[in-house]
Chain A
Amino acid sequence: MSQIKPKTLFEKVWKEHIVSEETLANPAILYIDLHLIHEVTTPQAFSMLRNNNLDVRKKNLTIGTMDHSTPTLPVNNFKDIEIAGADAANQVRTMIKNCNDFGLELFDFDSINRGIVHVIGPELGLTQPGKTIVCGDSHTSTHGAFGALAFGIGTTEVGHVLATQCLLQRKPKTLSIEVLGSLKNGVSAKDLILAIIGKIGVDGGTGYVMEYMGEAISSMSMEGRMTMCNMSIEAGAKAGMIAPDDATYEFLIDKPRSPKKEAWDKALKRWKSLPSDEGSIFDKIITIDANKLEPMITFGTNPGMVIGVNDPVPISENDAAFSKAIDYMQISPGETLHNKPIDVVFIGSCTNSRLSDLQEAANILKDRKISDDVTMLVVPGSQKIKRDAEAIGLDKIFKKAGAQWREAGCSMCLGMNGDTVDPGKLSVSTSNRNFEGRQGKGSRTILASPSTAAASAIEGNITDPRRYIT
């Protein structure tokens, strides 16, 4: 009988990357396999390197893109970049200079690979099971969908990884989220993760790495799994992970930078040993029934304030935060949101901008028109997704419906590039945060799936997408 203690997926990846173990006195030194960088959270880290006369330790493990401050209208020259403002343009120029000076690969405006940092990692096959992946961006948790340990870091830590390829870390706790049953037609990964955050709260995962498991997860597409892991941070979790399986390998096998030939066979053997062992112990366990789920929306000002699309806003007395949130959203307890006129619909972000998300929205919008009162932006997650979507005519469906079809970027998820929702306007967005002013000062955001966003664009108010799904 084996005496080896059963381990979780997280514990296996963690252990394999320990340069030096943590002690009471010191944190562990964790080795990083892939460092993704973008223009917003790196300039100060490169300044630190310059000030200390340091170089980037592993240039081949560092990949750069530009996504947050970049315009989503076509960029042909530097003048076009300034559409988002002089500071944003300066940040883009600084990124280009930093990557040039330090000899790092950067996907610039002329690259088909440029896109949202968490979309291009998987798309290129750089995101792989068992890797440690970091980026100065909280939605780095997305890459956990492949069985990688992936988490967001601050700019000081970006400097640490650039200089040493390592991070100081205390070992987080583990939380398993088992999703029983299967999702009904018209209910997506986005609805499931919103329901989970609604259940455990925006701090329910703080201090934990979450592993999603169960029937609904193993039958889910890689795109859906990425949506799930992406929003793990919205529950406060350090990371979200899903065990690699045949769907993972099938997704990766033909990607440009996944291992090839013998290297693939070797990697596959290693990857297959990663799933949590039977009998492995989690610090906390939560189960959720997928069969009962409806399309979900947020109603308040954090992603834990979630209701079914047809449900009334809950009634909560003597809760100052709750009252503040619904005042801000200009809604009342006890009412459904069906009749709230919406102004903006945004389909995009690292949560829901992949080809399958665009396809899901296009299926509903085909041969239909969006409401005259709605402005709708569709922003693909990468330039490659844009090209692939155009190859199958999705751009035409969106444009014919009355939506704007843009270049890749983070865009209206956080409105850093000038794509913003005006004060007081109500937006239905496939992004990940509905914080006050997230999409622009005074903007009001309702988070939803691509289907719900598309159906709502047609009706001009919050709409159950199943009305349009046959």
Chain B
Amino acid sequence: MEGLKQIKSRTLVLPNKDIDTDQIIPARFLTTTSKNGLGKHLFHDWRYHDNGEKNTDFILNKNQNETFEILVAGNNFGCGSSREHAPWALTDYGFKAVISSKIADIFKSNSLKNGLLPIVVNDEVLEELINNPNIELSISIENSTITFPDKKVISYEIDEFSKYCIIEGIDQLGFIQRNNEAILKFEEKREWTPR
């Protein structure tokens, strides 16, 4: 996983609210034992007709020659299943950030571990982004800000720990491992032992 300090990209907008992880990647593609190559299944059933042909009306199929790193989606993105295949599919496709007015808990947690920055903005900002698709945004992870084409700057909230992990491109396992002493002490001092 690469570290991420700055994202500069046009936005791809999916205005639908409550986009669930079954839409991001349908369950039948979860039989893999690898993390790689899931981008081809991203939004599969919206991207392809039943006969396997591309749905040319779907936004991902309209801008084939452009790379988008920022996905803007309607409220409550990523609800449903805990499948980490959802952020794996999004990052494999090339996305580095998702912006919505609410992002489901497990999806958000999974994204932060895979170099996909989940950004929650208020309803007003989301509406502006949805109504103005395909604009170039500049996201500074170090400053937690989004800069619009007209130089307007808004800030978003992200806790320091998550920010650090995204910037450094690190999984959080090392942090827990460095606290092994505390874990051992906890296990020794417990009033009861599970099982």
Q: Which of A31, A60, A84 contacts B186 (CB 8 A)?
A: A31
A18-33 interface code vs B (CB 8 A; 1 in, 0 out) = 0110001111010101
B19-41 interface code vs A (CB 8 A; 1 in, 0 out) = 01011001110111111000000
Q: Which of A43, A47, A152 contacts B106 (CB 8 A)?
A: A152
Complex-state Cα separation, A156 to B32, whole angstroms: 15
Residues of B contacting A152 with CB < 8 Å? Answer: 81-82, 106
Q: Which of A26, A154, A321, A435 contacts B23 (CB 8 A)?
A: A435
Task: From known contacts A33-B194, A266-B192, A321-B74, infer whether A302 and B20 are also in contact, taking CB-CB under 8 Å.
Answer: yes
Residues of A contacting B20 with CB < 8 Å? Answer: 302, 433, 435
Q: How large is the interface on A (under 10, 10 to 19, 20 to 34, 35 or more residues)?
A: 35 or more
Docked-complex contact A415 and B27, CB < 8 angstroms = yes
Q: Which of A156, A257, A324, A416 contacts B114 (CB 8 A)?
A: A156
Task: From known contacts A203-B102, A415-B28, infer whether A20 and B182 are also in contact, taking CB-CB under 8 Å.
Answer: yes
Chain-A contact segment, one of B57-65, B131-139, B172-180: B172-180
Complex-state Cα separation, A84 to B102, whole angstroms: 36
Task: From known contacts A25-B160, A236-B105, A435-B23, infer whether A154 and B28 are also in contact, taking CB-CB under 8 Å.
Answer: no
- Within 8 Å of chain B (Cβ to Cβ): is A238? yes
A434-446 interface code vs B (CB 8 A; 1 in, 0 out) = 0111100110000
Docked-complex contact A94 and B33, CB < 8 angstroms = yes
- Contact residues of A between 257 and 298, Cβ < 8 Å to B: 257, 266-267, 270
Q: Which of B17, B33, B87, B161 contacts A321 (CB 8 A)?
A: B17
Closest-CB distance, B130 to chain A (whole angstroms): 11
Residues of A contacting B76 with CB < 8 Å? Answer: 202-203, 206, 236
Residues of B contacting A94 with CB < 8 Å? Answer: 33
Residues of B contacting A437 with CB < 8 Å? Answer: 22-23, 26, 45
Q: How large is the interface on B (under 10, 10 to 19, 20 to 34, 35 or more residues)?
A: 35 or more
A144-170 interface code vs B (CB 8 A; 1 in, 0 out) = 000000011111110110011111101
Residues of A contacting B15 with CB < 8 Å? Answer: 320
Docked-complex contact B105 and A166, CB < 8 angstroms = no
Complex-state Cα separation, A437 to B41, whole angstroms: 14
- Within 8 Å of chain B (Cβ to Cβ): is A85? yes
Complex-state Cα separation, A43 to B82, whole angstroms: 15
Closest-CB distance, A210 to chain B (whole angstroms): 12
Docked-complex contact B176 and A168, CB < 8 angstroms = yes
Residues of B contacting A166 with CB < 8 Å? Answer: 176, 179, 183
- Within 8 Å of chain B (Cβ to Cβ): is A69? yes
Docked-complex contact B104 and A203, CB < 8 angstroms = yes
Residues of A contacting B28 with CB < 8 Å? Answer: 415-416, 441
- Within 8 Å of chain B (Cβ to Cβ): is A110? no
- Within 8 Å of chain B (Cβ to Cβ): is A34? yes
Tally of A-B residue pairs with Cβ under 8 A? 185
Task: Name the residue in B81, B84, B110, B161 with the highest tally of chain A Cβ atoms < 10 Å from its Cβ.
Answer: B81
Complex-state Cα separation, A26 to B80, whole angstroms: 27
Residues of A contacting B79 with CB < 8 Å? Answer: 202-203, 236, 302
Closest to B16 in A: A321
Docked-complex contact B27 and A164, CB < 8 angstroms = no
- Contact residues of B between 154 and 178, Cβ < 8 Å to A: 159-161, 171-173, 175-177
Residues of B contacting A433 with CB < 8 Å? Answer: 20, 22, 80-81
Docked-complex contact B183 and A87, CB < 8 angstroms = no
- Within 8 Å of chain B (Cβ to Cβ): is A344? no
- Within 8 Å of chain B (Cβ to Cβ): is A136? yes
By Cβ-Cβ distance, the 8 closest A-B pairs, closest first, are A43-B33, A87-B31, A154-B110, A33-B194, A154-B84, A152-B82, A203-B76, A156-B113
**Interface, chain A (partner B; CB < 8 A):** 19-20, 24-27, 29, 31, 33-34, 40-41, 43-44, 47, 60-61, 68-69, 84-85, 87-88, 90-91, 94, 126, 131, 136-138, 151-157, 159-160, 163-168, 170, 172, 202-203, 206-207, 233, 236, 238, 257, 266-267, 270, 302, 304, 320-321, 324, 414-416, 423, 433, 435-438, 441-442
